[in-house]
Amino acid sequence: MKKENQSDTPQAGGFRGSFSGKLGYVLAVAGSAVGLGNIWRFPYLAAKYGGGIFLLTYLVLMLTFGYALIVSETALGRMTKRSPVGAFGAFGKSVPFRFGGWINAVIPMLIVPYYSVIGGWVVKYLIEYVRGSTAALAEDGYFEAFLSEGFCAWVWFLVFGALVAAVLFAGVKQGVERVSKIMMPLLVILAVFVAGYSMSRPGAWEGVKYFLIPNFKNFSWMTVVAAMGQMFYSLSIAMGILYTYGSYIKKDVDIEKSTAQVELFDTAIAMLAGLMVIPAVFAFSGGDPNMLKAGPSLMFITLPKVFAGMGFGTGAGILFFLLVLLAALTSAISLAESGVSTFEDQFGFGRVKSALLMGIIMLVFGSASVFGFGALDFISVLGMSILDFFDFLTNSLMMPVAALATCLLVTRVVGLKRIAEEVEQSSGFRRKKMYCFFMRYLAPVCIVIILFSSIANVFGWITM
């Protein structure tokens, strides 16, 4: 239990020394939360799973279930001063406790490899904008050709991975956080500008309506499954991250308020991304259903078309992909850091050995995800490409289980009362009743339904 003894000493490269105060904490959590999930993943899921009805489902889930889980994880982290494996272990040593801790700890290790593949796509686009290939990027079929060629995408994946590794090794995380303070407001300003331009294209208004106005005809079970997975992903819930962050804060951080701030910021960025991408689908392809269902490639296909039509398209492209790259880096670093510290704490490995191990995991799974679109495209796992499979495995299967583990820990073992006491150490717990209701009833029911729906969907027992 190394962590416990070190609870007040800043760790080299770790998060513990980096929260200068309440604002520092909110910024660090926001830096982890805002990433590719908001800018790349949210718009494509919203486009695919029903537009406005997806948005509505997402918002409801975030304000209820998501809120309760963030508060729980942060409070458990602060209470035990440990990251997930240790936090679960603090309440019991039997198998269910070990399982609960480990499932939370393993998820980031499985996400960071394929996250870095998409980070690589971002680096590639940034470089192409710098080289002035604005028109070529907007051509039909450009992105597909890039993906299926494989080797080039692999090199960019390595570049992104090397950036993450460099930051982890050099321990310059503080510097990165300083960058993210400047980057986030800039990202918002640029996103407002690009979204405004995208919405003003002829035909784009249909897309704005599709994205913002719920249409119950578009509702399916998959809308809920996807919205819940996205909520976990985007807010960094159910993957141990918030336990770890919670373990670094002092009693003066108002958990409720900081949770609300992070949720607000994260959702604002996701919605802006939706307003950049979805109206563009309608403007450039008249809302073609195939295009709406394009999946992971959507952002990389539509935004270049938007930039190509703009006066300062190349400049906007450079700035946009640079900011997305920074946002992706801060998130990837927090994912990788979480893996590294699990190795350090649980196996007693040194920092270098832990980082190397994380690097090997990234290399193996990441390479498989890259070549899943090229040389390995004959491999399909449950009908999905390798990258999609990792995304599905973590978001739709493992995260509900991890969230369920947290709910059970809170309701059955720790007790809602103790969590409330922890929150109340820093502020009045304004939404206590709501919190208890969600944890006790809503969350377990939601999670179990979602888990079974996603399994049933994969095996074709039900069509959604």
Tell me which residues touch ligand PHE (CB under 6 A).
32-33, 35-38, 108, 233-234, 236, 239, 241, 331, 334-335
d(C-alpha 89, C-alpha 95), whole Å:
10
How many Cβ atoms are within 10 Å of 50's Cβ, its own excluded?
Answer: 25
- Locus of tokens 């059955």: 412
Residue 113: left (phi > 0), alpha (psi -120 to 50), or beta?
alpha
d(C-alpha 225, C-alpha 448), whole Å:
11
Long-range contacts of 308-316 (CB under 8 A, 24+ apart): 308/134, 308/135, 308/137, 308/138, 309/201, 310/197, 313/134, 314/129, 314/132, 314/134, 316/190, 316/193, 316/194
Nearer CB in complex with ligand PHE: 156/233: 233
Nearer CB in complex with ligand PHE: 33/90: 33
- Measured from the CB of residue 267, what is the shortest distance to ligand PHE in angstroms? 11
- The residue with its CB nearest to ligand PHE is 37
- Measured from the CB of residue 233, what is the shortest distance to ligand PHE in angstroms? 6
Of 347, 77, 57, 379, give the one whose Cα is nearest residue 229: 57
- Measured from the CB of residue 412, what is the shortest distance to ligand PHE in angstroms? 26
- Measured from the CB of residue 122, what is the shortest distance to ligand PHE in angstroms? 12
Nearer CB in complex with ligand PHE: 327/414: 327
Nearer CB in complex with ligand PHE: 231/368: 231
- Measured from the CB of residue 216, what is the shortest distance to ligand PHE in angstroms? 28
Nearer CB in complex with ligand PHE: 199/249: 249
- Measured from the CB of residue 87, what is the shortest distance to ligand PHE in angstroms? 16
Nearer CB in complex with ligand PHE: 344/391: 391
d(C-alpha 218, C-alpha 7), whole Å:
49
d(C-alpha 11, C-alpha 388), whole Å:
35
- Measured from the CB of residue 400, what is the shortest distance to ligand PHE in angstroms? 15
Nearer CB in complex with ligand PHE: 236/385: 236
Nearer CB in complex with ligand PHE: 40/211: 40
- Measured from the CB of residue 56, what is the shortest distance to ligand PHE in angstroms? 20
- Measured from the CB of residue 123, what is the shortest distance to ligand PHE in angstroms? 16
- Locus of tokens 């929260």: 19
Nearer CB in complex with ligand PHE: 236/341: 236
Nearer CB in complex with ligand PHE: 108/296: 108
- Measured from the CB of residue 289, what is the shortest distance to ligand PHE in angstroms? 26
d(C-alpha 339, C-alpha 317), whole Å:
32
Nearer CB in complex with ligand PHE: 338/354: 338
The residues with which 381 forms a beta bridge, in sequence order, are 384
- Measured from the CB of residue 311, what is the shortest distance to ligand PHE in angstroms? 30
